[in-house]
Amino acid sequence: IVLQSIPFVIDLHDCCHTMHNTTKDIMALSDFKSVISMMSWIINYFSKSPLGTTELAQLHEHTGVSEGLVKIGKTQFATHYSAAVALAKCLPIIQSLIE
């Protein structure tokens, strides 16, 4: 009804849920299983380890990286992507912790 009365409105059919479902389908592909598993393991380790969290926070200050890790959520839109981007920024710091 709205589209008929206002012709310049673009009908996106709930684009947020469409993008979320598309991302969820892509993440379900077997090619991504090992990557998602490793990413989840790293994020969970640093979210549950007081020592790891403290060391990561200290290195954030020294290196100037302002963003931390992001947990993978079940109800938010495309959090695998947000978590992967955050982890990519923190990987050099995490690698220095391991070495």
For 41-95, what is each residue's pLDDT tens digit? 999 998 898 888 888 888 888 888 778 888 887 766 678 888 999 999 888 888 8
pLDDT at 18 (0 to 100): 81
Of all helices (H) and strands (E), which one includes residue 99? none
Domain membership of residue 72 (yes or no) is yes
Lowest mean pLDDT among 10-19, 23-32, 63-72: 10-19
pLDDT at 76 (0 to 100): 67
Give the residue numbers spanning the domain of 97: 33-99
Domain membership of residue 10 (yes or no) is no
pLDDT at 58 (0 to 100): 86
Domain membership of residue 65 (yes or no) is yes
Domain membership of residue 96 (yes or no) is yes
Measured between alpha carbons, how far is 66 from 6 in angstroms, rounded to an integer? 44
Domain membership of residue 40 (yes or no) is yes
Nearest partner of 94 among 62, 52, 50, 37, judged by Cα: 52
Whole-model pTM above 0.75? Answer: no
Number of folded domains that form the chain: 1
